[in-house]
Structure 1
Amino acid sequence: MLTAAEVRKLIPMPDAVAAVRTAFTDLAAGEFTQPARLSFGGGRALVMSAYHAGSGAAAVKTLSVELDRSPAILGTLVWSSPSGQLVADAIEVTTIRTGAVSGVATDLLAPPTASRLAVLGAGAQAADQVRAVAAVRPLSAVTLHSRNASRVLDLISVLRQEFPAIEFMVAESANDAVSAADVVCCATSASEPVFDAASLPDNVHVNAIGSYLPSMRELPEELLASARVVVVDEVSACMEEAGEIIHAVSTGSLARDSLVELGSALSAPASPGGRTVFKSVGVAAQDWALARLLAERT
């Protein structure tokens, strides 16, 4: 079984972004059989699986999620292919692939010169959001905000060692953090929107990866209603699990048929500009993509 440290060593973020991008292209092409995520105990236990027709390989991930535990996520990833099987710790796989999909979406939707990132949340997912955006855009400044001030400082201490050329700052509020951003990454467990749409610049790309239950919401309804485009990892998954998408569709602020899946968007990229949104609840094809890298490199 590959440990978390071994997973991290084997998958640099740029490679993860490339692998996840390819997986979403294959997903759009119908290469994956990907059942809906199984959720038990109000999201405290999750099971995800994907089978790739072209390779005959499958990945199955089981997770235990306890938001008041550190780490909040524990789990195992199993990769099975005609040539053998691999088992890996799922914590690093989950955070890396969640960062990677934000990297894919940012590369698709943010201006090429985007250099200012705001990150809301300082939990286990936050560092890989920074790593992923830094892999696709020339970041010069990162502003972070979290209700847990000490956690933000710890995160900045880690990131400064990795990115000495980037200026890291702490914002007093979420609205302050996003006010001058080119890219925003939300990685929280919030049940209400974490910033006001009016605080955003006119041209900004927003990634939201924290919420994965109908009761959770990170994004304001006004942003979803006014965004030039709202891209999701998978429409059916978001309509089951993404609280902000479910809410906006139910109130009529957002039309379900206006949602664009990431795999489709990659085949016909639009020009950047205005306010754009990417919402992800996580799909098994992402886990499959990283499991394949691990299998190839061990």
Structure 2
Amino acid sequence: MLVLTAEDVRRSVPMNVAVDAVRDAFTELAAGHFVLPPRQIFGNGAVLVMSAYHSPTGTAVVKKIGIALDQVPAIRATLVWTGNGEQMVAEGSSITTLRTGAVVGVATDLLAPAEASRLTVIGSGAQAPDQVRAVLAVRPIADVTIVGRSADRAAALAGELGTEFPDVRFTSSTDIDASIADPHIICCATSSATPLFSADSLPESVHVNAVGAFRPTMRELPRDLFATASTVLVDQTEAALEESGEVIDAVTSGTLTTQDLLELGPALSSPPPRSGRTVFKSVGVGCQDWAIAAALAEMP
């Protein structure tokens, strides 16, 4: 049995590889090649269990996640991959942030303007660095603003990422409205229970990713953003209607209908226009974990 640490995961699957792997997995999902049981949720979201089975290869993953938002790190996870008579166990928190970043890279590549150069990331926690890495992997970003409730944490993350990407200008802020006034791309990666901003604070043309809210009681995006968006993209409609507080609120209020939700897999073969305000909401599905696990299993 192969056992991999977080360092092994990072060394073996760089972000550009992760983005390609996750893109291919969603194409496979749209083709009907995955069995994705609903995510099991225990203890009001304190423990999650996700799984995916890839029919063409007979390979599967199961990931257990423990979540404690009042602790650091907030997410602790373990992933098990099986296939071809072999088994791999990997540290799952690194896979979770990597595959969450990667799916944002896929969606951003699909919806954001090709020349997008300004990025704002709201949130300075564990998910934020891979949000930056993913967007930088698919767009020529020159300026990044990290927004956080803690000025020190936001500045520290901006400094760390500035060292990693010396050709990109990084700044930090605690003012959300000022930081979302003119970016081309926004990534939301917080545990907020209430919307982070009003659509009135946004440019008329912007792509917004949201990955932080994973319970019906959580919301990062405002209802009025959905009302003004030309495209609302989700990783999987069923999962979004079960777990995304923003999507549930928008559908319940009549702001959106289920027919307004575009799934990522089919959108890859029939891309929507890149115009106006576009939204990608992800709660995470098992094929993303499978994609990273499969890439790890192929490493020398």
Tell me the TM-score normalised to structure 1 length: 0.99
Please, which moves more after superposition, 81-90 or 169-178?
169-178
Distance 1:246 1:45 in 2: 21
Please, which moves more after superposition, 16-25 or 146-155?
146-155
Structure 1 SS opposite 2:187: strand
Structure 2 SS opposite 1:63: strand
Residue 179 (structure 1) aligns with: 181
Amino acid of the residue matched to residue 68 of structure 2? Answer: E
Distance 1:178 1:48 in 2: 33
Amino acid of the residue matched to residue 32 of structure 1? Answer: F
Structure 1 SS opposite 2:266: helix
Offset of residue 5 of structure 1? 0.9
Offset of residue 148 of structure 1? 1.7
Residue 293 (structure 2) aligns with: 291
Structure 1 SS opposite 2:57: coil
Residue 100 (structure 2) aligns with: 98
Q: What's the % identity of the aligned pairs? A: 54
Q: How does 1:238-277 map to 2 (within 5 A)?
A: 238-277=240-279
Distance 2:88 2:242 in 1: 30
**Structure 1 gap segments, 5+ residues each:** none
Q: How does 1:14-163 map to 2 (within 5 A)?
A: 14-163=16-165
Structure 2 SS opposite 1:54: coil
Judge conservation of contact 2:231–2:277 (CA < 8 Å) in 1.
yes
Offset of residue 171 of structure 1? 2.6
RMSD, aligned CA: 0.8
Amino acid of the residue matched to residue 152 of structure 1? Answer: A
Distance 1:39 1:241 in 2: 10
Residue 235 (structure 1) aligns with: 237
How far does the alpha carbon of each residue in 1:169-218 deviate from its partner, in whole angstroms, 9 at most, with x for none? 12341111111110000000000000110111111000000000000000
Judge conservation of contact 2:220–2:246 (CA < 8 Å) in 1.
yes
Tell me the TM-score normalised to structure 2 length: 0.98
Residue 198 (structure 1) aligns with: 200
Distance 1:82 1:296 in 2: 12
Offset of residue 266 of structure 1? 0.5
Distance 2:139 2:299 in 1: 27
Offset of residue 24 of structure 1? 0.4
Please, which moves more after superposition, 168-177 or 215-224?
168-177
Q: How does 1:165-176 map to 2 (within 5 A)?
A: 165-176=167-178
Distance 1:197 1:132 in 2: 24
> Would you say how many aligned residue pairs link Structure 1 and Structure 2?
298
Offset of residue 145 of structure 1? 0.9
Distance 1:192 1:153 in 2: 24
**Structure 2 gap segments, 5+ residues each:** none
Judge conservation of contact 2:214–2:283 (CA < 8 Å) in 1.
yes
Distance 2:146 2:9 in 1: 26
How far does the alpha carbon of each residue in 1:41-75 deviate from its partner, in whole angstroms, 9 at most, with x for none? 11110000000001100000001000111111111
Structure 2 SS opposite 1:42: helix
Offset of residue 270 of structure 1? 2.2
Judge conservation of contact 2:149–2:174 (CA < 8 Å) in 1.
no
How far does the alpha carbon of each residue in 1:2-24 deviate from its partner, in whole angstroms, 9 at most, with x for none? 01111111110000000000000
Distance 1:211 1:172 in 2: 20
Residue 224 (structure 1) aligns with: 226
Amino acid of the residue matched to residue 17 of structure 2? Answer: D
